[in-house]
Structure 1
Amino acid sequence: MNNQMKDEIKKFENQIRRRYLLPEAIVIDCKPIGYPFHVLNVDLTYLANRQLHLAEEFVMKCINHELNKHKEIALFLGMDENLIEKVVSELLSKGLITREDFLKLTDLGLNSLEQQTVLAPISETKTFYIDALNGKISEKFYLNRLDSKKNNSALNKIIKKPRKGHIEDIVEYYENIEKLLQNYNSSSRIELIQVNNIEKVYTEWHELLLVLYQRNPEDKEIEYEIFSRGNIQVEYRTTIEQLYAEGKKILDPIFQEIEQDKLSNDNLVERQILTTINNENIKTVEKLSAKIQSLEDPDFLIDSKNKSIKEERKKLKEELDQIKAQSKISEIIHTYEHRDYLFNTFKEAKQRVMIVSPWIRRYVVDQEFLEMLEATLNRKIQVYIFYGIKGSNQKNDPSSIKKLEELSNKYKNLRFQKVKNTHRKILVCDNKFGIVTSFNFLSFRADPNLTYRDELGVIIRDSATIEDLFNSGINLTQDEI
C-alpha cells in the first residue's frame, strides 16, 4: 500500500471516528464502487423568453379584443370556465388587468403583451440524468443531491431504465424537465411544449468509495461507510439499505445488462480451468484477507498480551491457503490494478507474454503501451497478442492495429494476430502467473478520472494451470492457419 493510500485511509478513519463517536474505530479496507445514473439525450420542443404563461397571454389577447366575460373567453378558447377564472385571478393579482364593469388591460398589461415574444418554439436535444436508485432527475450529475429523507416516496417503486424511442417512459418527469430547462435560461420563463423523442439512453457509473471498518479492534463485525469527494455519504447508504430491506433488488436490472457481456462459446478451456473457481470462493478469499489484514494492523496489537490473536490469525491464514489451493486462486484483483499488472508483465517477463482481449483502442494501446512493448521485444521476450470478436470492427482503432502490425513485421518475436471470435480476456507472464478477468486489457484504460466501471479478475500461480491457459490462447489461432 503506497503512502497516498495510507493517508487516504487514515483520513476516512478520522472522519468515521468523529462522526460516530467511535475513537477506536479502524479502517481495514477501501474499495471503489459505482453509483448508477441513467443518462438520457432527449429531443424536446419548448418556448423560451416568455414573460407570460401561454394561458395568460391568450386570455389577455381575448380581453384586448373585447372578449371580457369569463364565459365568452372560455367558449372562444375552448377551455374550462373554472380554469379561465383561475387565470384571471392571477392576472388581477399581478396588476395586468382590472375588473370594473368588465375586464380590461392595465397599462402594465398592455406593455407586457407588447413585449411578449412572438410564438417561436425551440426544438433541440438536452441531456438529463436520472438517479437509478431514487429516480430523481437533474440536468447535471450531482452526486450530493440524494437525500433519502426527502425522497422516501421514490423508494416505493423500481426505477426502470427508460427505453430509447419510448417517450411514455418519462411522462412523469415532464414537469421536472420544464423546471430544469429553466436552469439553462435563468433570465426567462420556459414552457415545455412536448417531448419529441428519447434519442439515446445509457447507464453511467460514478465512483464512490466503500470503506470497511471495525468499531474497535476487538469487534468481530465489519461495517461499511460510503464516501464521495472526502465526505461521508450517509444518504446513499440509507437508500441502498432501505431498498434491500424491502426486498427490492434495485441494481439487478442494471447488472443484467452487464451479465450479457459474458464468456462466449469459444471459452470452453477457460471454463474448464475455472470450474473450481466461483463467486463464493472469491468472496471468501476477500473476506479472510480483510480479517487477516485487520489482525496484522500494528494499532490492533498495542497493549495486547492475548495469544488468542496470533492463534486466530494463524487459523485464518490456514483457512485462506486451503481455499486458494482448492480453487487455484492466488489473488483477486480489481479494476484499477489490471493495467499495473499489464505494465509490470512487460517489465518483468523473462520468456513469454500473452495478451488476449476482444478489442483494441488507441487510448489503451497508446504511446506508453507501445514503448513498453517494444522494450520487451528488444529483450528477446516472445510476445503473443490476440484479438478479435464478431462485429467488433467498429470498436477497433485502425491506427493502433497498424502500429502493432508494424512492430510485428519488425520483430519476429511478436505474434500479433486477429482471431475469428473470442471474448476472453487473459494475461500470461512466463510461468509466474496467469490472469483471467472481465477486464479488456487492450480497450479499457480504467482511468480514475473517468466514469467508474467494476471489473474483477483472479490471478493463478499454479504452473500446470498457467500452461493450460497459455495453450488455450494458442489454440484460438488454429482456425486462422
Structure 2
Amino acid sequence: MNLDELAKKQSGSIPGYELVDYYEAAFPVYRVIVIVAILTEQNLPVVQEYILKMLDCGLNNIGDIGGFLGLSNEIIEDSLVPLTQQELVLSYLEGNSLKFSITEKGKDVMESLKVKKPTITSLPIVFDALTGSLEPHKTGLAKAKEVKDLEIPIIKPYLNKPMLEDIEFNDVRKLIKRMQKENTDIAPPPGELLDIIEVEKAWLEYKRLKVFVFYSAKEDDVMVQVFERTQRAPEYETRLLRMEREGIRVLRTVKKQSVRNGLLVENLSFNNEDLKSNEESIQEAEERVKILTKNLAEAEEEKTDQTSIHTIKRQLEEARRQLEIFQKGDRVLSTYEHRPILEQALKNAQNRVLIISPWIERGGMDDDLLALIRAALTRKVEIHIGYGISDERSSNDTYPVKKLKEYLSKSFGKYLKLHKLGNTHEKVLVCDEKFAVVTSFNWLSFKGDPNRGFRRETGLYTQNPVTIKNIIEDTLKRFNEASC
C-alpha cells in the first residue's frame, strides 16, 4: 500500500479531525556496535575431558595424571586452571602435596562433554534516537546525505549518541534472545548475556516512515499517526507531539492557502452550496459502496442463495455508477485526493496536460511520477509545467528539475515544455479538456514553507467545459508571457 492509498484509508480514522498533511520523513536512529560477554556452551577440550575422567577414577595429583596420559606436568597444570575456575575441580592440600578432586558439577560436564564459558563478541544493534528502544541491526537504513538527496523532511534526534550507561542490560538481553529466536545472521552465539563491556562505536542513520497529521479546528488540536510500511508505530506519535510541546519543530507545517488566490480563479463560477451538496453525496455513495461490498463478501462466504447474491451485485454496480457520477461533478478535493488525480491525468491524457506548481521538489515529484511523465511524453502527450516562486527559493537545481531537463534532450523531449514563471502561488492541473483542478496543493512538491502553520490543502475540481476553457486560456497566456 503506497502513501496515497494509506492516506485515503486513514483520512477519517480520527473522529472530529481532518487529515491536513501526510508525507514520508526520515526518522533518526543510531547504529551501535556494543562489545558483550556471552556465556556460551562449548565442547569440553579433550585434555580437560581426560583429566576429569582420571580424577573420577581416583588419580588425584598432577604427576600421576600426566604420567597416565603421557603429558607433561605443565600441560596438566594449564588445563586444571579453567577446570578449577569453573568449579568442575577442587584443589586441596594433603600434607605437603597438592591434590585434586572432581565435583558433582564436574561429573555432569564429564557426561555431557559440554562446558559453559564466557565469549567476548561484538553485537550490532540499532538504538532509536527518539524513543531509546533497541532493535536488531537492519538493512534499509540511509545515511544523512542519502536522505538529503531524497528531499524528504528529516526529524532531529531527541536523544544523544548512546554511551555505555544508556544501554540497559535487560533490553540487550531481550534483544539477544529475540535475535537468536529469529535465527538472524548477526545473532550472537547461543547463551546468556553476562555483561555489556563497552560501546565500541555509534553513528547516526535514518529510516523512512510515513507521517499523517490531523487537525481539529474546533479543538485547535493536532494529532499524529506514524506508520512503518502499513503498521502503526504509536511510540513515535507520542514522542513527536512531546517534542512539539517542548518547542522542537518536527512536524512539516504550512498554512492553509485559499484556492481563490490568483487570476485563474476569477473566471470560476463554483456554487458553494452545490459543492457542499455534491461532497455529501459522494460521502454517502462511498459509504453505500463500502456496505454493499461487505454484504457481498459475507453472502458469498455464507453461500447464500444465488438470487440474493445477484441482487447485491446489481445494487453494488448501481452504487458504483452513482459514485462515479458524483465524482465527475464540481467538488472539493481533500488533501489525499490530489496525488491520485495527478497520476490519473498523466496516465489517461491523450493530447495535453497543464501543470502549475510553485516548487518542484523530490518530496512531490518522485521517481514514480517522473516515470509517468516520461510515459506520457512517449505517447506524444504535450506536458506543460509552470513553476517558480521567487529568486530566494529556486527549483533550478533540484533532482526532478535536472531530470526533466534531461528529458528535453530525448526524442520525446519536444513534447515537454518547462515555463519558469518567476513568482507564482497558483496551483493548477488540466487534463486535455476533460477536467481541471485549482487548488492550494503544490502538485510537484507538496512541501511549501515550513515556517508557517498547519497545512490543510483543498482543491476545486470541475468538468465544466466553459470553466475548463477559461482555465486553459489563462494558463497558456501565463506560459506565453513567461521565459522558458
Q: What TM-score, normalized by structure 2, do the two folds share?
A: 0.43
Q: What TM-score, normalized by structure 1, do the two folds share?
A: 0.43
Q: Between Structure 1 and Structure 2, whose CA radius of gyration is higher?
A: 2
